[in-house]
């Protein structure tokens, strides 16, 4: 390699680096702050390979993300990502907890 080609290669690699680093990990789409029309809050953050979900009132649970669904690591109520609406859907429990759809807070 000549000294004349080194700067060109360096520039090309520098241009490609952001593209290589911008590949998202599974679950990137559910990260963030979410809110229902009724004001219930949901925060989702990455915790290693899992996700830490904090609900209104401060309850926190570790969840696993697979194929658009956040599932509690110890079992329980799942949360589904709705890509067409950029929303999260938490099913309700009849007579106990109503269904909730969370919209991303930007």
Q: Which residues of 67-91 are buried (b: 16+ CB within 10 A; e: fewer)?
A: eeebbeeeeeeebbbeeeeeebebe
At 56-84, the pLDDT tens digits run 989 999 999 999 999 998 888 899 999 99
At 10-54, the pLDDT tens digits run 555 555 444 444 457 889 999 999 999 999 999 999 999 999 999
Q: Please tell me the predicted confidence (pLDDT) of residue 76.
A: 85
Report residue 93 as tokens.
């429990």
Q: Pick from 51, 10, 14: which is nearest to 30 by CA? A: 51
Q: Please tell me the predicted confidence (pLDDT) of residue 96.
A: 80
Which sequence spans correspond to the domains of the chain?
26-104
Q: Please tell me the predicted confidence (pLDDT) of residue 1.
A: 59
Q: Please tell me the predicted confidence (pLDDT) of residue 22.
A: 45
Q: Please tell me the predicted confidence (pLDDT) of residue 25.
A: 84
Q: Please tell me the predicted confidence (pLDDT) of residue 21.
A: 44
SS (H, E, C) the chain: CCCCHHHHHHHHHHHHHHHHHCCCCCCHHHCEEEECCCCCEEEEEEECCEEEEEEHHHCEEEEEEECCEEEECCCCCCEEEECCCCEEEECCECCCECCEEEEECC
The residue with greater pLDDT, 91 or 7, is: 91
Report residue 12 as tokens.
């090309």
**Assigned fold of 26-104:** Lipocalin (2.40.128)
């Amino acid at each position: 390699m000549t000294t004349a080609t080194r700067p060109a290669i360096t520039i090309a690699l520098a241009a490609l680096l952001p593209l290589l680093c911008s590949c998202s990990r599974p679950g990137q789409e559910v990260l963030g702050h979410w809110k229902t029309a009724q004001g219930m809050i949901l925060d989702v953050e990455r915790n290693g390979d899992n996700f830490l979900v904090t609900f209104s009132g401060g309850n926190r649970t570790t969840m696993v993300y697979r194929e658009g669904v956040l599932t509690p690591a110890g079992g329980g109520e799942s949360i589904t990502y709705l890509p067409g609406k950029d929303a999260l859907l938490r099913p309700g429990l009849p007579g106990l907890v109503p269904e909730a759809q969370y919209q991303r807070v930007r």
